[in-house]
A and B are shown apart, each in its own frame.
Chain A
């Protein structure tokens, strides 16, 4: 039982690979920290594991079977560094949330998502407000692994601590595996069971 990236290679152009023969395993309930300088392919790795990009070589396995193509809700979900790029700008947030199957009220409450926000368009919310919304969206039932790409990098320390408290609680309750990408070594040390650098 695990999410496994096996021998992954990927490049955005013919020349120059961002990732070369990278392997990594994430078990349920595990919190794996990923650090490394910018431009090293941390986000690209998340995109491969979440199925947004196809590896040039290697494969992504869930419980030993190829994860992609994936029908219905994908059990591996990514939360993006820039939430404004992860929502449809022409949909009200309510509609974006409905596409993912809706979020539990308890969750939106814990994330301090105000009901009025759901009637707004993404451009009418601040980055931090939008990110909390994206986290709620990623925590729908059926998700088993969360790839968190610098998800609190744009938040103030108090909100950051609040969000991680909630995510750790959820991860524990639901045995979620978390991949946590961050530049903040103090944060990774607080959160992770294991840290790998890229």
Chain B
């Protein structure tokens, strides 16, 4: 199977001006690694502010000017240089962005989908792609403010699917959709994967991710803390205490709110960023912690969850 995307030890940091002209480096993503094979849906799950969206922007080469990226991104075996990313994005590599504010508020939906093309074929395509996502032809003449939250979301997805992509990066594609529509959208991602594309699904919605993803990478404070297969979750074969807490917080499980908050960028200190909230922490957690294989997945923890079938 072809490897579509390979990210190794990716770090992204921002240069900020603190006070006056004093500059500081703010690390947002640290040592991130993941692989997306053709035909696979890989979900990146993490809370807001954990740097998930920046991963997408890093791959596409659309990070802001005051950012710095280190590490390696390979697309179909070749390094994804900024130049190559620029050529491929919007064609082979497409993004379904997070905010509905990514739509042009002054342009009707139809012309936005067609990106300047006016021929009959483009019109047919845009109509078909809208229909595929359950939107009628009248949607073409609507302006973004006339769309409901869920409809706007589907328009964003339609815009990405117009391009028949090889790598689809979806950044929070489901909030605002009802369970049926969300299931349908995720089904379409899976469909695109079955046709040979790789899908990177960036989301905070663990329950939904588990219905469609093959693999789940869990993110905490800019680090990958665990890579697990989707089946590991309901089976209780989880490795990292944070992953366990996420699972237990779902309304259908325990709805248990673990106290505390994830540290912001630059506040992590040394060692495990989850340690201050961790029920299993020990003195050794203040050291550098490697991502290591465990029970068919990966974990960045010195005291991983033991029992539960591991």
Contact = CB atoms under 8 A, between A and B. Distances in A.
Given A126-B48, A128-B47, A157 B181 contact: no
Interface residues of A, number: 38
Interface residues of B, number: 41
Contact of B246 (A37, A82, A157): A157
A56 to B, nearest CB: 16
B29 interface: no
Task: Determine the main DSSP class of B at the interface with A.
Answer: loop
Contacts of A126: 48-49, 53
Contacts of B255: 161, 164, 190
Given A37-B180, A150-B175, A85 B101 contact: yes
B261 interface: yes
Contacts of A159: 47-48, 261
Interface string A121-164: 00000111100000000000000000000100111111111101
A66 interface: no
A156 B204 CA distance: 5
A190 B251 CA distance: 7
B249 A82 contact: no
A12 interface: yes
A156 B48 contact: yes
A72 interface: no
A54 interface: no
Interface stretch (B73-81, B123-131, B145-153): B145-153
A35 to B, nearest CB: 8
Interface of A: 12-13, 35-39, 43, 81-82, 84-85, 112, 114, 126-129, 150, 153-162, 164-165, 183-187, 189-190
29 contacts: A12-B146, A38-B148, A38-B178, A81-B149, A82-B100, A82-B101, A84-B99, A114-B264, A126-B49, A126-B53, A127-B98, A128-B49, A129-B48, A156-B246, A157-B206, A158-B246, A158-B257, A159-B47, A159-B48, A159-B261, A161-B255, A164-B255, A164-B257, A183-B176, A183-B182, A184-B179, A185-B179, A186-B207, A190-B251
